Amino acid sequence: MKESKIDTLAFVKDLLAKKLRNSLSLKLIVAIGTLILVASGIFWFVIIVRGEKQILNSSIIHASEYNSIIENSVKTNMSMGQVEIIQKMLEEIGTTGAFKEVRIYSHPEGIIKFSSDKAVISEKLDIKSPSCAVCHKDTEMKNVSWSIIKRKEGRILRLSKTLLYEPTCSVNCHYHTPSKKIIGILETDYSIVNLDKTLREQKLATITFGIILTVVSSIVLCIILWKIIIKPLMLLAEGMERVSKGDLDHKVEINTRDEMGMLAKTFNSMTTELKTARQRLENWAKELEEEVAKKTEEIRKGQEQMIHTEKLASLGRMAAGVAHELNSPLTGIVTFAHLMLKRIPPEDKLNREDLEVIIEQAERCSKIIKGLLGFSRALPTQKAKVNINATISHVLDMIKNQAKFHNIKLITDLAPDLPEIDGDASQLEQVYMNLLINAADAMNDRGQIKIATRRVQEDGKEFIEIEFTDTGPGIPEEHLNKIFEPFFTTKPVGKGTGLGLSVSHGIIRKHGGYMTVKSKVGEGTSFFIRLPIPEKEKKEQKD
Ligand code: ADP
């Protein structure tokens, strides 16, 4: 929230910096400001001009009314032949503040006959004067005209009015004949200094008011623009910039219900979706990485296994060849030794004993050869339905009576209802026997062996797992990857052949399974056999 707050100072700095020309906010402010200025300028100009015109018009009306009064008095005095009174009256009028000068010209001579200023009497009027325009400017004759004259002491409103001939005029007047239409022009100068002063004050007040109103409305408009458009736009722009830099947790905080609020809401939901998609992509990449690592490890193991199998296969072929070649001569040795034993009298104990040693050693050789043939898979397998638990029980029954297992506690944990598998029971029993003898050897014929069976799943396939765990000394780590190799043994010469585990592994692989070992020095050893459950068995079990 703190971060998203727009700093006004930063905004102003931003405006003054290089973004100034391209700033939308500035364009808006300039456009609206200009509009306000022009509109308010025109408005106040019209107000001032109209006001001035109205005041001037009412002044002209007032002055015209005064003029009519003067005209009437002049006409009355003229008809009565009291010419001196006219001059006196004009002098009197000239002394009042409102009138600057009052004159009466003769027509058409244009000579001043009467004036509030005695000094100008008999002066001639210029034909270009505004007063002459009353009669001469247009073809159409006018009775009244007005003009503004600028003097040093201030402006003057001059009203000019024609004095028309009336029937009463000819009665006492010896100046005019009845044929004359216009007998003179009444020219009245009014000082409008005070009026101008009032106008100036009014203009100043109007302009001041206009400026204040324009400034205030501009400020208010700017604030409204800032709050409603510019600030939300900047928040959105900031949000877009942050999102484009990868900050998908950023949220635009505009909580209004207008278009800007809707835009912010849409933007926020867009970033949320973007974040979810990115997370999904990351997870997918991670899963893919893990899968690749797993597959690579599987391939590596597979390759290792292949090399190992290849090695074993070539060794097997060699062993099979040797075993095959040795088998016949050994059979001959044993047969002939037995024949010789029969021929030697019982009292020749020394020779008999030697022959018995020959027979015993030859039989041992035979046993090794059988082992080698088993390893090389030279021995045929007879596959049938095998109940794993039954084969285990059978082996345990056999070893129970052997002295080797008298001091060993045998614990079984056999899972009931295990499906049958296709295999060679006697070969599998040979494997168990081998593992049990190895365990007993390792524990010096005393300790504990646990035999367990269970059903397990691996990569979607089902297996029967058989576990043999002893409490022996364990296998050192450096030996762990060698024990399945043929002829690897740690037993003393004459006791171990190093073929037991490799033959066992060969048998299990022939059944489609595999063997693994887990061991820690001082804690014992566990061998695991996994044999696949045939599809048919799985279905039957389910049914
Ligand atoms: P052998 O029994 O003739 O030595 P094996 O292939 O059966 O041949 O065994 C190879 C070696 O594995 C053994 O010599 C022994 O060192 C080791 N071994 C096998 N089983 C065990 C066990 N349960 N505990 C400790 N070591 C074992």
As a CATH number, domain 80-194 is 3.30.450.20
pLDDT confidence of residue 328: 81
Band of residue 490 on the pLDDT scale cut at 50, 70, 90: very high
pLDDT confidence of residue 1: 41
For ligand 1, the distance from its centroid to the CA atom of residue 440, given in whole angstroms, is 10
pLDDT confidence of residue 395: 92
Q: Assign residue 487 a region: left if phi > 0, alpha if psi is -120 to 50, beta otherwise?
A: left
pLDDT confidence of residue 440: 95
pLDDT confidence of residue 171: 54
pLDDT confidence of residue 149: 85
Beta pairing, strands 154-164 & 182-191: antiparallel
Which residue has better confidence, 325 or 285? Answer: 285
Residues of the chain above pLDDT 90, percent: 25
Band of residue 463 on the pLDDT scale cut at 50, 70, 90: very high
Alpha-carbon distance of 94 to 122, in angstroms, equals: 18
Band of residue 139 on the pLDDT scale cut at 50, 70, 90: very low
pLDDT confidence of residue 202: 83
Q: What is the token pair recorded at 356?
A: 């018995």
10 has pLDDT over 80 = no
Provide DSSP, 326-370.
Answer: HHHHHHHHHHHHHHHHHHS-TT-HHHHHHHHHHHHHHHHHHHHHH
93 has pLDDT over 60 = yes
Mutate to test the pocket of ligand 1, among 437, 483, 503, 523 (most ligand atoms within 8 A of CB): 483
pLDDT confidence of residue 378: 47
240 has pLDDT over 80 = yes
346 has pLDDT over 80 = yes
Band of residue 191 on the pLDDT scale cut at 50, 70, 90: confident
Alpha-carbon distance of 70 to 161, in angstroms, equals: 11
At residue 414, φ and ψ (nearest 5 deg) are -100, 125
Per-residue pLDDT of 255-270, as tens digits, reads: 888 888 888 899 899 9
pLDDT confidence of residue 12: 52
Across the chain, what does the average pLDDT equal?
A: 82
The model carries a pTM of 0.43
Atom number, ligand 1, closest to the C-alpha of residue 486 = 6
Atom number, ligand 1, closest to the C-alpha of residue 503 = 6
pLDDT confidence of residue 468: 97
Band of residue 3 on the pLDDT scale cut at 50, 70, 90: very low
Give the residue, by CA position, lying nearest to ligand 1 atom 13: 489
Provide DSSP, 448-502.
Answer: EEEEEEEEEEETTEEEEEEEEEE-S----HHHHTTTTSTT---SPTTT--S-HHH
Which residue has better confidence, 518 or 319? Answer: 518
The superfamily in CATH containing domain 381-542 is Histidine kinase-like ATPase, C-terminal domain (3.30.565.10)
6 has pLDDT over 90 = no
For ligand 1, the distance from its centroid to the CA atom of residue 444, given in whole angstroms, is 13
pLDDT confidence of residue 325: 81
292 has pLDDT over 50 = yes
98 has pLDDT over 50 = yes
Band of residue 70 on the pLDDT scale cut at 50, 70, 90: confident
450 has pLDDT over 70 = yes
User: Is 501's C-beta closer than 6 angstroms to any atom of ligand 1?
Assistant: yes
User: Is 430's C-beta closer than 6 angstroms to any atom of ligand 1?
Assistant: no
pLDDT confidence of residue 383: 80
